């Protein structure tokens, strides 16, 4: 049985940290054939989906064979694991993967859902579990929200790994000018959320597989920083889920299953849902290391159980 991983070039991947490497190695341990290609290798010849894909031996990392031009319906599962940004190239790749899905291939996560679930905006359908949130490109709206909440964070809708996230007070000098900057003169909307002081105690990354939480870590911000993302210096630590966090997972599960979002990472701060990461969720290596849990193997096992 073959699994194809659509990802960034293999030489860019750090197997000690990368969740995609963990999944590839777990698939290999499960005696599955592991193949790899980049989004640029996807092809549609009429309605026939193909790819220039290479067989991969991922453990030890990594040995790849010669690429072959193969129909995508020769793969049981295709993992779309290209890291953001979700730019034109990424979106076109999801459209090509739509062709594979119509040919009967299981694509994870579902290409149409990767397009429709912006990782910030997707959480809004579960707003009752979130801190007060506003999405707008109008400076006046954002200023009024800041005045109402006092202390807010501003998030670019296309951001990732905490990049571009700003904390600002309603009384900050030059707030209007800052809002003009982040909205590109009211051309782009941004997300504004009430700042949660409990982020100093950490931001939980919870990994859901077919709607169920299988692993989690707590990410604690570095000294002098409010962002807890590992990419900006946050420190991962072991954790357990609270009852509220389990309730959040249960609330999300039906929608995630219905929309083919098999492997998802959600972020929760002080019991408040922050984001729903669907493109290329990270955290497997940290769960495996800190929780002594073979999470990648459990993900592959769960997938095989679903048939």
> What's the N-to-C CA distance of the chain in angstroms?
12
Q: Is the dihedral of CA 261, 283, 269, 274 positive or negative?
A: negative
Residues 6+ apart with CB under 8 A from 140: none
Name beta bridge partners: 263: 209
120 is annotated as an active-site residue: yes
**Is 63 annotated as catalytic?**
no
Q: Which residues contact 249 (CB under 8 A, 6 or more apart)?
A: 206, 208, 211, 212, 213, 241, 266
Of residues 82, 204, 277, 286, which has the active-site annotation? 277
The catalytic position among 219, 229, 285, 286 is 219
- List 81, 82, 110, 155, catalytic entry: 155
Mention every residue, 6+ apart, whose C-beta is less than 8 A from residue 153: 165, 166, 167, 168, 192, 193, 195, 226
- 204 assigned to active site: no
Residue 28 DSSP SS3: helix
Catalytic residue, candidates 120, 160, 194, 204: 120
Is the CB of residue 11 less than 8 Å from the CB of residue 5?
Answer: no
**Active-site residue, selected from the candidate residues 101, 203, 245, 267:** 267
Return all residues near 204 (Cβ < 8 A) that are at least 6 apart. Answer: 216, 217, 218, 219, 239, 241, 245, 267, 268, 269
* Of 82, 110, 160, 227, catalytic: 227
**Which position among 18, 245, 275, 288 bears the catalytic label?**
275
Strand-pair partners of 136: 190
User: Considering 81, 160, 194, 205, which one is annotated as catalytic?
Assistant: 205
- Answer yes or no: are the C-beta atoms of 286 and 23 closer than 8 Å: no
Annotation marks residue 102 as catalytic: no
Query: Pairing mode, if any, of strands 2-6 and 77-80?
Result: parallel
* Whether the Cβ atoms of residue 49 and residue 100 lie closer than 8 Å to each other: yes
Active centre residues (catalytic): 120, 155, 205, 219, 227, 267, 275, 277
């Amino acid at each position: 049985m073959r699994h194809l991983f659509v990802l960034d070039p293999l030489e860019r991947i750090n197997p000690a940290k990368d969740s995609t490497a963990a999944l590839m190695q777990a698939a290999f341990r499960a005696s599955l054939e592991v193949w790899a290609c980049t989004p640029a290798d996807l092809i549609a010849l009429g309605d026939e989906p193909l790819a220039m894909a290479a067989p991969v031996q991922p453990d030890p990392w990594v040995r790849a064979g010669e690429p072959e031009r193969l129909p995508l319906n020769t793969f049981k599962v295709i993992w779309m694991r290209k890291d953001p940004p979700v730019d034109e190239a990424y979106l076109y790749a999801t459209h090509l993967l739509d062709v594979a899905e119509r040919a009967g291939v299981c694509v994870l996560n579902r290409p149409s859902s990767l397009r429709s679930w912006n990782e910030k905006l997707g959480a809004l359908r579960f707003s009752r579990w979130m801190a007060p949130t506003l999405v707008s490109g109008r400076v006046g709206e954002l200023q009024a929200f800041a005045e109402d909440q006092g202390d807010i964070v501003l998030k670019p809708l296309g951001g990732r790994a905490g990049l571009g996230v700003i904390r600002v007070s309603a009384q900050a000098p030059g707030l209007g000018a800052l809002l003009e900057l982040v909205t590109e003169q009211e051309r782009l909307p941004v997300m504004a959320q009430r700042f949660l002081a409990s982020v100093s105690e950490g931001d939980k990354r919870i990994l859901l597989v077919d709607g169920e939480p299988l692993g989690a870590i707590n990410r604690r911000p570095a000294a002098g920083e409010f962002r807890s993302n590992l990419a900006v210096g946050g420190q991962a630590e072991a954790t357990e889920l609270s009852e509220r966090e389990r309730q959040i997972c249960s609330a999300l599960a039906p929608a995630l299953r219905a929309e083919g979002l098999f492997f998802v990472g959600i972020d929760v701060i002080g019991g408040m849902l922050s984001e729903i990461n669907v493109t290329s969720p990270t955290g497997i290596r940290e769960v495996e290391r800190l929780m002594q849990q073979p999470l990648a193997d459990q993900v592959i096992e769960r997938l095989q159980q679903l048939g």
